[in-house]
Amino acid sequence: MNRFRNWNARKVFAAAAVAGIIGYLVGENRTAEFAMAASPAKSSSSVAETGSKNIFVDIVKREKPAVVNIYTTQTPKQPHIQRGPRGQYDPNDLFNEFFGNQMPQMPRHSLGSGFILDKEGYIFTNNHVVERADEIKVKLNSGKEYDAQIVGTDPETDIALIKIQADKDLPVVDLGDSDHLEVGEWVIAIGNPFGLSQTVTVGVVSALGRDIGAGRYDNYIQTDASINPGNSGGPLINIDGKVIGINGAILPGNQGGNIGIGFAIPINMAKQILADLKGKKGVSRGWLGVIIQSITPELQKALKLKSSAGALVGGVALGGPAETAGIKRGDVITKFSGKEIKDSRDLPRYVAEQKPGTAVELELDRNGKKMTFKMNLGDLREGEKSYQAAAKGEETYDDLGIVVSDLSPEIEKGLNLPKGLKGVAVSGIDPRGVAAQAGIQRGDVIEEVNRQLTANTSQFSDVLSKIPADEAVLFTVRRGNSSTFIVIEPIQEQRNKQ
C-alpha cells in the first residue's frame, strides 16, 4: 500500500510538473498578448504624439503635474495641570514652579495628497487631511511650495477645498463622470504615500457603492490600486485620463498598509458640493424629514412585502416635508424622483444630492397599495436645528461619539414613539465614532445600558460612569417598531487602536 502511494505521488508530481511547464509557456504567450493589448497601437494619436510606451505612461505624464503633496501641522492646546489638594505633596508642583502649569506639547504633523482644479489655485483633498490643521503646506510636482488656506469642508463626505495663491499658471486635472464608472475598469492612483511623493499605482475598479461605515452618504469606489496612508485626497484616474474619484480610505493590513482594498469618493459627489464649498457658507442639502431603516427578512415577512428593496419609514419629523405631504410610519419608499431605492442607504444620498426647495416625487407601498406623493424638499440644516431644539437635557459622550437627549413630546411625536416609552434619544452622532461603527444611528432610542433602564440622560450618564473602561457595553436600542441589542467593545480597546 505504501509503495502504491509513493508511486502514485510520483505520477502526480510528474503530471503537475508537465502541466506547470505548459502553463508557463501559455502564460508567457498570454502575457505578451496582454501587453500588446494594453499598449495602444502606434496609430493612436495620444501615444504617437508623445512617444509613450503605453497608455498609463501617457496619462501619468499629463496628469501628474497637477497632483500635489499636502503637509499639515497642528499645535495641540496646552492642558492645564491641577495642583494636588491643599496639604498634600504633588511632585508636579516643583516642576510647575519653574515651568508654569503647562506641559510642553509637540506639534503634530500629517501628510496627504490633493489635485488642482483650476488656474485660480483651488485644490480638492480629504477633510480628514486638513481638519484642525494650524498650518497647511502644498508642494507641487515642480518642487515649488505654497501656503494653503481652507476654503470649505464637508465632514459628511470627507471632502475639503483648499486654495493656494500661485505666482504663475498652474497645471490642472480633468474631472470625469463617476456615474458611468463600471467594475473592471482600469484606474490609476497618484499620491504621497508615507511621504513618497508622486507615487503612481495601477489597478481596477473592484466594486461600486461600498458602505464602509464612514457616514450616511457612503458610496465609495473600491479599487485594488495600491492606496496607503498619505494617498488620502489624491486622484483616482480612469483610462481616459479623467479624475473619477478622491482616494480617501483603506482597509489596512496587519502593519497598517495596503492589502489591495482601497476606497475613493466618487468625483460627482465632490462636484455637486463644489459651489457650496467655494461659497464658504456650508453645504446645502435637501431634507425629507423621515427616519428610515432597512427591510430585514423578518420585517419583509411581517409587513407582507414582495421585496426587501426600498426604505422603510420608521418615523416622520413633525412639520417636515414628508409629514406635510402625507407620508406615514410604515410606508416603504420604493422610488425617489424616478430613481429606484434598492437599499435604504440609497434614499439619504438621493435626497442630499438635491437642493432645498427642489420639487420631488416619491413612490411608495402602503399596506400593499402603490401610492405617489409630491413635495418640495426642506433644508437639512434647518431640519436638524429643529430636531436639536426639541432635544432637552442633551449630553455629549466623546468616547462613544454620540449626543443623547431626554425624550420630549416633540421627539416622541416626530419618532412616532409609543406613549410611556422610557429611554434617551440619539440626537447626534459622529459617523467615525465607536457608536456609529457598532450600528447606532441618529433617531435611535437607547432604552437600556447593560440591561439597566436609562429613562433619562441622568440615568444614562450614571450607568455609563460605573462601567469599567475594559468592559464591553450592551445597549438595548429601539428603532422603529422593534428593539435590538448592540454591543460596543471596550472603550479602552478602541483608544488603543487609534
Instruction: Write the CA distances from 396 to 124, 291, 393, 401, 429, integer angstroms.
Output: 31, 21, 10, 8, 9
Instruction: Write the CA distances from 382 to 111, 392, 408, 477, integer angstroms.
Output: 35, 18, 19, 26
pLDDT at 49: 47
pLDDT at 123: 97
pLDDT per residue as tens digits for the range 147-160: 999 999 999 999 99
Tell me whether residue 195 is exposed, middle or buried, using C-beta atoms within 10 angstroms of its C-beta: 0 to 12, 13 to 18, 19 or more. exposed
Residue 245 and residue 275 in contact, taking contact as beta carbons nearer than 8 Å: no
Contacts of 287 (CB under 8 A, 6+ apart): 320, 321, 351, 356, 377, 378, 379, 380, 382, 383
Residue 437 and residue 213 in contact, taking contact as beta carbons nearer than 8 Å: yes
**Across the strands, what pairs with 484?**
477
Helices and strands per DSSP (H, E), number in the chain: 14, 27
283 is written with which cell numbers?
453645504
Contacts of 131 (CB under 8 A, 6+ apart): 153, 155, 160
pLDDT at 411: 78
385 is written with which cell numbers?
436645528
pLDDT per residue as tens digits for the range 129-144: 998 889 999 999 989 9
pLDDT at 162: 96
* Regions in the chain scoring below 70 on pLDDT: 1-52, 77-105, 252-258, 386-393, 491-498
Query: How many angstroms separate the CA atoms of 313 and 300, rounded?
Result: 13
Indicate whether this model's pTM tops 0.75: no
pLDDT at 89: 41
Beta strands in 224-318 (DSSP E): 235-238, 243-250, 262-266, 286-287, 290-293, 311-316
What residue ranges define each of the domains in the chain, with the CATH number in brackets?
A: 178-279 (2.40.10.10), 286-381 (2.30.42.10), 391-497 (2.30.42.10)
pLDDT per residue as tens digits for the range 47-92: 334 455 789 999 999 999 999 999 999 877 654 444 334 434 444 5
Which residues participate in catalysis according to the annotation? 128, 158, 232
Grouping H, G, I as helix, E, B as strand and the rest as coil, residue 40 is coil
DSSP state of 475: E
The angle formed by the CA atoms of residues 309, 312 and 314, to the nearest 5 degrees, is 165
